[in-house]
Amino acid sequence: MCGVFGIYGHPEAAKLAYLGLHALQHRGQESAGIVTSDNQQLVTHRGMGHVIDVFPQGQLDRLAGIHAIGHVRYSTAGGSGLRNAQPIAVNYSRGSVAVAHNGNLTNAEPLREDLEEKGSIFQSSADTEVIVHLIAKSAQKDIVDRLADALARVRGAYSLLCLTERTLIAARDPMGIRPLCLGRLPDGDSYVVSSEPSSFELIGAEFVRDVAPGEMVVIDERGLRSAMPFAAEPRRTCIFEYVYFARPDATLDGINVYEARKNLGRALAKEHAVDADVVIPVPDSGVPATIGYAEESKIPFEMGLVRSHYVGRTFIEPEQSIRHFGVKLKLSPIADILKGKRVVVVDDSIVRGTTSRKIVKMVRDAGAKEVHMRISSPPTQWPCYYGIDTPTRAELIGSSHSIPEINQYITSDTLGYLSLAGLKEAVISARVAPRGRTHLPVHTDDDARGPGETSADGAEASAARPLDHGSFCHACWSGEYPIRFTPAPKKLQLRLLHL
């Protein structure tokens, strides 16, 4: 999982990118990077860690320029390290270009193999490097056409920002898998693009609209214009963003995340009612669903588990094993609330089952008479190939165990998962009235419009089409992958390791 942020035409571009990335920090804490341009030269800095650590004042000051794109990256098992940090910035025949990318390409490996066969070298394992190669190799002249050319060859999920000396382009894959939003600073002509609109709020920008699936938004000295250069595909927005990943204050593709989560809780209460004294969330992500569950079930809501704000990554464990150590570092039960009670615990998902098992024991050790686990999504059974870092099938307890078996393993009294139908309905019910400016003030230079390029208004219309039951990717639960993933050939599996 990752987050991207871009800004065009602002004297404090790097600083606003830094703030925008900070608001996206929940989408990736492993590394962060910013590339700026002053219309003449690209300057880049990337580092491991949180945005605030990667960019001390001095470094921000050196990122001169009025345009910027930035990226935060999630820690994944393989492929960690500075080399895989983004944006990737390179020199090529037409100057310099930088790309930041949220999502995962499904055909990166065959493309990489093909490029290598033709003599390309790869310095990272990021599929973003594939896109940069394709841009550099395109026969087109203009960066807009080169990027369209490159993206026409890739398959999979991408919400992508591309910066050259004088042009910022935002592109979203035709299925609209990952979110991407367009905003504008109130006093002037600075456009901003972000994975989530929370970035806009922080820097005082206004939300304009979501970038449409398959849309390329080009921002340059002529203003903003839009194109739809790719063949249309069925919409397949990642529904897990609403369940877990996005910030609750976000509204993505017209659906309010907080409201969606409350609806999940309400639906869960309907599908899996239970006689209980109290309903508590696994904080922080489970809170809205628990509020919904409480409202629907009339069972009192309590914050029965407290989350520590001070958990670092490399905590030193005592040698003598403390029971449920890892969970205890993060969560503590409020015994006086749980003692003697029948407790419903609401969480968003169960991955390996080990954490849920520890939570159930923690709640029971605190004195709970009964522990009823309620999950606001179906059993996670399939890995995600579109940008969320899930373990292999073998590690997913939902792949190999029935719900009763999982219930037994995590030692809960009862266990209930929300159905896929219930999930979809709940999310769709969180649709909100269109926000943002109705009339996007764009310079639409009709002469400059290439094949398939439409005005921004067209894109806006497309973006405004509301999501329905059929609009989602839910492969992690259903196995119904909208795009087939091609794994790396054997020869590409043991690759250079950058420490």
Catalytic positions are 2
State the minimum distance, in angstroms, from the CB of residue 172 to its own copies: 23
Report DSSP letters for 331-387, one per residue.
Answer: EEE-HHHHTT-EEEEEES--SSSHHHHHHHHHHHHTT-SEEEEEESSPPP-S--SSS
Residue 146 vs 172, nearer CB to its own copies: 146
CA–CA distance, 308 with 154 (Å, rounded to integer): 42
Q: Which of 1, 4, 7, 42 binds its own copies (CB under 8 A)?
A: 42
Footprint (CB under 8 A) of its own copies, residues 176-205: 198, 201-204
Burial class (CB in 10 A: 0-12, 13-18, 19+), 402: exposed
Q: How many residues bind its own copies (CB under 8 A)?
A: 98
Q: Which of 222, 352, 465, 498 binds its own copies (CB under 8 A)?
A: 498
Token representation of residue 255: 């659906």
- The secondary structure of residue 156, as a DSSP letter, is B
Footprint (CB under 8 A) of its own copies, residues 112-151: 116-117, 119-123, 132-133, 136-138
Residue 94 vs 449, nearer CB to its own copies: 94
Residue 7 vs 227, nearer CB to its own copies: 7
Residue 232 in the binding site for its own copies (CB under 8 A): no
Residue 347 in the binding site for its own copies (CB under 8 A): no
Q: Which amino acid is at 335?
A: A
Footprint (CB under 8 A) of its own copies, residues 287-316: 287-288, 291, 295, 300-303, 306, 308-310, 312, 314-316
Q: Biggest alpha carbon distance in the chain? A: 74
State the minimum distance, in angstroms, from the CB of residue 329 to its own copies: 7
Q: Which of 258, 382, 477, 485 binds its own copies (CB under 8 A)?
A: 258
Residue 92 in the binding site for its own copies (CB under 8 A): yes
Cβ within 8 Å of residue 308, ≥6 positions away: 329, 330, 331, 332
Residue 10-29 contact track with its own copies, rule CB under 8 A, x = bound: --x--xx-xx--xx-xx--x
Residue 232 vs 432, nearer CB to its own copies: 432
Footprint (CB under 8 A) of its own copies, residues 351-410: none
Residue 93 vs 470, nearer CB to its own copies: 93
State the minimum distance, in angstroms, from the CB of residue 267 to its own copies: 18
Residue 333 in the binding site for its own copies (CB under 8 A): yes
State the minimum distance, in angstroms, from the CB of residue 200 to its own copies: 11
Token representation of residue 368: 């709970």
Contacts 24+ apart (CB under 8 A), 181-186: 181/207, 181/208, 181/209, 181/210, 181/211, 181/252, 182/207, 182/208, 182/209, 182/210, 182/211, 182/217, 183/207, 183/208, 184/208, 184/437, 185/10
Residue 345 in the binding site for its own copies (CB under 8 A): no
Comparing CA positions, the residue from 413, 395, 410, 293 lying closest to residue 346 is: 293
The 10 Å Cβ neighbour count of residue 494 is 8
